[in-house]
Structure 1
């Protein structure tokens, strides 16, 4: 425990006042935002099919198995208590990090419930060891009310957006669950893979290594064991909630660490959620793919998990870069950094390369400004080691379909499709280059606050360099890299929070701390913001009002040029007017720059708020369209029966390879692996390195690639379509298959594509024992040992 007790020197912030002896805890107004969020979450989950008992169980798991023990560890590592919500957020990060290797250990030992021991040990240890007991006490300070409400309202905003999109359209029970986003069964299958002590393979094609950022699925598996909640419910409803809340608080904590103030953190959260780009069009909510993070906060748990970790990394780097030489010789800051970078490396593949870009920029600029080396260099070395580990161990040196192919992303944007038509391989270079330029320009409106980073003291700040390099790599990655599933947009989504943070930090550099802003600054800011937003609304109702006659081609490029030309001209006129007034009233130069930055930022924030509000209003009144299930009837029941009556190492064969109700064979078929938590010889084969390697960007490799081993597929399907005693025995012995899952497609009258499917031959029952039937699915067991009983 001497390692845990060693302190990291705190950043130069005001020390926490000691709580007077005997003072009791009293609730304050700061608890109201928290209680409002809890109530909203409970009501939303209940409305979307989560039982109150499950919600309470998951809340208890998060608090006692992650956040509370992690909070104690975090406080002991930093050597002091901070504001309780910030400690809870960073404690959640610590809890996730400790849980990961311990769960992988108990999983391999086949005692998964033992993962519940470590939180108990931590709580007991911190209760009985005198040197650690003090970490139960808080710092005696309350989070500013404005920050509490900013985080709460931001969380509720995200929850509302998610409720009317992800939660509404992805059901938990049949038949609604069969119409869910294709990525969710893929995620359930990965969580199931980590619930059992089996070799890490791709669950839907056995024998293919799992080269993926899988850390969050180990967390999902641990949560499932301790709570008894199905992976489907965890991933679709519960798992992202504490991550999102902790992420918002961690961003506020990081900005405060950098600036010493809370309000820039509030601004950063606002810019991240609503200030990603300016939109002069009234016919689309987002003309370009600009890195809006709410798009995938619930759809991609890997993105949310990694975003939380990187917020902690930025916070710790800010602390590290503020330490003196003596403190830098201590091992604890470097140990914490190493652990955080290790967690980030396997959380999401896009992050570590972007971190390297940020650190390279910091190392170069350190040399330019000081002509000597600083702590950025060893940080870069540690990150390079984790990058090598991730690339060669976790990801197997594969690219997962990503290629360097500049400017393809714009083809998929609403404006790009309106101008150039449906995306295809042909490169229309003039509109592609022009639209890419406008896409970057639209995003740049949200960067206006960075002007303050040019001030002395800030332009040489290494944490600013890291954020700028990270964000530039993310923005560049979206425009330079292409992927069949648009995964390059994750680069921009990863960068968005740090563009927002850099802009907010720049504003803080322009506005003096500890002084009340002059009244003329406030009034001039109100004028600039009002004039810019009013002008934007006029442009949206004039130059940007005419919608394309067709969403795929026919929209003139000059309409895009004119809309953005008017927008830039408007902001320029308002900016010049503001500057002249500021000169006339003798406003200090940096406050003048701050007003100009606020004027520009207001157009991006107004665009985001208008687009999101419109989406919420439309979604709240719209009726959810009926969608056909892509699972065969009885999928959930049959899959879970097989899970409950088979062993973790049992292998399954099936004739289900393509998603139902989809014309052509869409091989993103994962339902059996998802609900059975078993290895399938061949189910679908998408989202694997061999599938991506079978074609290029425009070859349909994401969903319609051919299976690379046609002989294996033929042998597999022969069991179901032309079964004989010989081929059943030979195949099941060769591939250690214990169970056969046959789908009779004619039993599902809703299947619009069943002409491409064959129906399993009833003669299969002569060579395997029927064990379960549900809807269109029959489960057979192959020659069980006489002494073996069903579980």
Structure 2
């Protein structure tokens, strides 16, 4: 009981937070029961049958939730392909029934060899989880009201909503914005949401906007804590990892933000889902390759790795890097590589290739370019004079190619010493003669390689470094644990680290100042930050060498690297106020008028899930759809949840491959399906019986969603089609079956 009671805290915080952001008690209870009994518990039982228990329920449920989600995805694919989505609840029930009725499996309901973690660990994890879910609800979810209550909707959310709707109706899925085309995207996180929708009967909108993320944030903390503990064999390193992930979210209790602090994220469900799959697979790989586990755990790790690869393209490279560097270490030190490591490496490469070719889309437009990530910095142009956007240029950063060496190096140091300082904490294990340490280092090196070498039009190379974070934290905790064993008095070292971190964070906040509009001011502020960081680095290295090198210096460094970022974020928010300057997302570019949202909801209610809609809402903001407009309009496919003849095409591989053509971003490129755009535009502006017949016969279009803001809508449609709904500037026509 004393280890169960603390977990009521994050649950109560989540309930209170959800109630405050327009979610009723019914959906909260229903989703909590679903996640506990249809995901976490079946997965935990399957994990114990295939491997063993970790010795405590918290870690078992964390790893088990990922295994349970993997099991659910298998069932979702089978049931959806057969058209039995409404019976998906049977799939997890089969596990519960089997483990209750088969004598050999009944033992999995109990922990055969209990190894309870200290109560302090439980309380620390529970408090971290409460911080995570509380900050998410009041700082991020509240910032994104659900349609039609909001006024602007972040485009990625409506895009993901369209995918969830699509994945509730077909396997393999179609591209909902372009009916009849195959969906090329890493959609496994959306499929997990679709499974939740099928089982709970809640709407995709409530699941995506409000419920899905919260339990997975708790799972992130649990699996990252598990990874840290098993590599270091020290219980409090897991506590350190959880706090390091939760602490950066603290400022959200006093500020609003469009997203969470990395590596977790609200706007990219695929990152959060891929992260838990990656860490869980890493835990299993360590047990398989270096701790003599075997048997059915091979099947589990392959399945989880597939889920990771289908969730985010950054997952498999890290796992391959970890296994690969561990193999090199063993080859150098023992002159042999165990067969199981070779098998694991080959399997992971095959899984990575398979998922990349089948489900890990949106990688088109990516290229190799050293230090391309620097182009995403606000002061890049001011520091280097280069105006090349992300996704363009040769193998070398254009600024370097043009001779702007000093400016480039200044920005690189700023990134390494400020934005990504926490990631360096793990490299302290480099000297250990343990293949597990080199597994962690391999994953970190692979992540840094992707971060520094890949150039993606939307700067998605950042996801490499985000996915690396749990490995860095685990390695940092291990390094700190070794340092603590060497230190005679670790508590004073920890107190010193905290005090110095507060001072350093305060200096960083002062150096950053208030965001400036002019390039010169931006450059000066960035230079000031860099100078402060360099000065602090020199001072701290001297202090470490003189006073702490032999007595807890590693602990001092790790704690400071982990603490400075969240403390500075908190102080920055306190000093400069609300960074978003509004209580909800109100960006004019993404404005959706209430009549548009209400019409889309009407269409959702009065049409069949497989109906096809022709609409002119493919660009945002609302207005005449001219060439070069931002093709991230997902109003009908997202809010209405219906397939369209043509809607926003920006995230298709075809559009992303055109990044930079004509001097335009991929979001502003012409439609890869111009004939569909032309047919829709002509039908709405100058309708004829032949055009309407072509829509029905060639594309199976049933509905017209005509928004007069986005182009001409002829009154002749009232005669040629059946007007079923009209609100504001939107008219919805029924073309008949």
TM-score, normalization: structure 2?
Answer: 0.89
2: CA distance between counterparts of 1:619 and 1:563? Answer: 21
Q: Structure 1 residue aligned with 2:583, among 606, 609, 624?
A: 624
Alignment partner, residue 144 of structure 1: 118
Q: State the partner residue of 1:460.
A: 433
Who is 2:667 aligned against? 703
Q: Quick check: which one's helix share is greater?
A: 2
Deviation at 1:144, TM superposition (A): 2.1
Matches within 5 A, 1:243-254: 243-254=216-227
1:484-533: CA deviation from partner (whole Å, max 9, x where unpaired): 222121111111221122111122233339xxx623x5435544653464
Q: How does 1:730-749 map to 2 (within 5 A)?
A: 730-745=694-709
Instruction: Give the whole-Å Cα distance in 1 for the aligned partners of 2:558 and 2:727.
Output: 59
Q: CA deviation at 1:539?
A: 6.5
String of CA shifts for 1:103-128, please: whole Å, max 9, x gaps. Answer: 11111111112210122221122112
Partner of 1:88: 61
- Which moved further from structure 2: 183-192 or 614-623? 614-623
2:395 aligned partner: none
In 2, Cα distance between the equivalents of 1:540 and 1:57?
43
Which residue in 1 is equivalent to 2:716?
A: 763
Partner of 2:450: 477
Question: Structure 1 residues 552 and 80 mapped into 2: Cα distance closer, same or farther (>3 Å)?
Answer: same
**1:221 aligned partner:** 194
SS in 2 for 1:573: helix
Write out per-residue CA displacement over residues 201-260 of structure 1, whole angstroms, 9 at most, x where no aligned residue: 210112332111111111111111221211111111110111110111111112222222
Inter-CA distance 359–553: structure 2 relative to 1 (3 Å threshold): farther
Give 1:42 shift. 0.6
Label 1:453 to 1:744 Cα distance change in 2 as closer, same or farther (>3 A): same
State the secondary structure of the residue aligned to 1:399: coil
Mark the CA change 1:472 to 1:292 in structure 2 (over 3 Å): closer, same or farther: farther
**Alignment counterpart, residue 605 of structure 1, candidates 563, 566, 576:** 563
Determine which of 133, 152, 168 is the counterpart of 2:106: 133
In the alignment, is the contact (CA less than 8 A) between 1:482 and 1:488 conserved in 2? yes
> Residue 684 of structure 2: which of 720, 736, 743 is its match?
720
2:221–2:245: 8 Å Cα contact kept in structure 1?
Answer: no
The corresponding residue for 1:667 is: 631
Alignment of 1:343-492 (within 5 A): 343-374=307-338, 375-395=340-360, 399-416=363-380, 419=383, 424-425=388-389, 427=399, 429-430=404-405, 431-442=407-418, 445-446=421-422, 449-450=425-426, 452-455=428-431, 459-492=432-465
Residues 759/78 of structure 1: CA separation in 2 closer, same or farther (3 Å cut) = same
Instruction: Indicate how the Cα distance of structure 1 residues 772 and 92 shifts in structure 2: closer, same or farther if over 3 A, else same.
Output: same
Identify which of 69, 87, 90 aligns with 2:42. 69
Residue 503 of structure 1: which of 472, 476, 480 is its match? 476
Measure, in 2, the Cα distance between the counterparts of 1:620 and 1:436: 25
Counterpart CA distance in 1 for 2:606 and 2:420 is 56
| Conserved 8 A contact 1:81-1:137 | no
Rg larger in structure: 1
Contact 2:232-2:477 within 8 A present in 1 as well: no
* Residues 130 and 715 of structure 1: CA distance in aligned 2, closer, same or farther (over 3 Å): same
Pick the aligned partner of 1:518 from 488, 494, 500: 488
2:517 equivalent among 550, 553, 558: 550
Task: Identify which range, 37-46 or 340-349, moves more after superposition.
Answer: 340-349
Q: Please give the alpha-carbon distance, in whole angstroms, between the structure 2 residues aligned to 1:779 and 1:548.
A: 45
Q: How many residues are paired up? A: 711
Alignment check: 8 A CA contact 1:404 1:482 kept: yes
C-alpha distance in structure 1 between counterparts of 2:615 and 2:508, whole Å? 57
Structure 1 residues 444 and 684, CA, compared in 2 at 3 Å: closer, same or farther? closer
- Mapped to 2, the partners of 1:142 and 1:391 lie a distance apart of 40
Q: Say whether the 8 Å CA contact 2:705–2:730 is kept in structure 1.
A: yes
Aligned pairs (5 A) from 1:28-67: 28=2, 30-67=3-40
Structure 1: 4+ residue segments shifted above 6 A: none
2:252 match: none
Query: 1:778, CA displacement in angstroms?
Result: 2.0
1:54–1:528 Cα change, 3 Å: closer
Contact 1:768 1:782 in 2 (8 A): yes
Q: CA distance change for structure 1 residues 360 and 555 in 2, over 3 Å: closer, same or farther?
A: same
Q: What SS does structure 2 have at the residue aligned with 1:82?
A: coil
Q: Deviations over 1:153-178 (max 9, x none)?
A: 322333344335431221113241x4
> How do residues 97-108 of structure 1 correspond to structure 2 at under 5 angstroms?
97-108=70-81
CA distance 1:64–1:739, shift in 2 (3 Å):
same
Post-superposition Cα deviations, 1:62-111, rounded to whole Å, max 9, x if no partner, equal: 11111111111112222346211111111111110011121111111111
1:306 counterpart = 2:274: yes
- RMSD (Å) for aligned C-alpha atoms: 3.1
- Whether the aligned pair in 2 keeps the contact of 1:268 and 1:504 (CA below 8 Å) is yes
Counterparts in 2 of 1:533 and 1:697: CA distance versus 1, 3 Å: farther
User: Alpha carbons of 1:523 and 1:782: their partners in 2 closer, same or farther (altered >3 Å)?
Assistant: closer
Q: Given that residues 401 and 697 in structure 1 are in contact (C-alpha distance below 8 angstroms), is that contact kept between their aligned partners in structure 2?
A: no
- Alignment of 1:641 onto 2:633: no
Alignment of 1:249-264 (within 5 A): 249-264=222-237
Structure 1: runs of 5 or more not aligned: 1-26, 277-283, 583-588, 746-756, 785-791
Deviation at 1:369, TM superposition (A): 1.5
Does residue 163 in structure 1 map to residue 133 in structure 2?
Answer: no
SS of 1:133 mapped into structure 2: helix
Q: Is the 8 A contact 2:312 2:360 kept in 1?
A: no
Secondary structure at 2:703's aligned position in 1? strand
Contact 1:213 1:349 in 2 (8 A): yes
